[in-house]
Amino acid sequence: MKRFGTSSGTEIDKEIEDLTPQNTVKTHKYVWKQFTEFCEWRNYKLCAQTSEEQLASILKDWAFNMKRADGTEYKESAVKTIWNISDKLVQKKFYEEFNRETNPFRGLIFEEF
């Protein structure tokens, strides 16, 4: 028996994905769908040229204007959860699609919080 395994990066990624609870996967898909619909509605484009300040502004706008499908307000805890998931998904998108690490929360727009 060998001490260390020989699994490739793709095998490891698949195993991690398989271990992710289905509720988490569904929640992330739901939040991403809502966020992208919001971006389309506001004519926001998430592309390689989008700056950290623009991302921060988009996420701030999203946090203050997100509502349920019937137009009612979310509870504060739900807004925070959805906002944090949105941020992580935006970071993932920029890293995977544009090979760019982002952290919109370190921008000047969030210093007031």
Which stretches within the chain are classed as H helix?
9-19, 22-41, 52-65, 76-98
Task: Indicate whether 86 pLDDT > 90.
Answer: yes
The first and second tokens of residue 90, run together, are 């935006």
Instruction: State phi, psi for 59 to the nearest 5 degrees.
Output: -65, -35
Rounded to whole angstroms, what are the CA distances from 85 to 30, 63, 82?
A: 10, 11, 5
Q: pLDDT band at residue 92, thresholds of 50, 70 and 90?
A: very high
Average pLDDT of the segment spanning 84-107: 88
pLDDT of res. 28: 95
Distance CA(51)–CA(20), nearest Å, equals: 31
Q: At what angle do helices 52-65 and 22-41 cross, to 10 degrees?
A: 100
Query: 96-113 pLDDT, tens per residue?
Result: 999 998 887 765 555 554
Which of 73, 84, 72 is closest to 27 using CA atoms?
Answer: 84
- At residue 11 the predicted structure's pLDDT band, cuts being 50, 70 and 90, is confident
Q: Contact 113/59 with Cβ under 8 angstroms?
A: no
Whether 10 has a pLDDT exceeding 90, the answer reads no
pLDDT in tens, 23-46: 998 999 999 999 999 999 999 999
- What pLDDT is stored for residue 55 in this prediction? 92
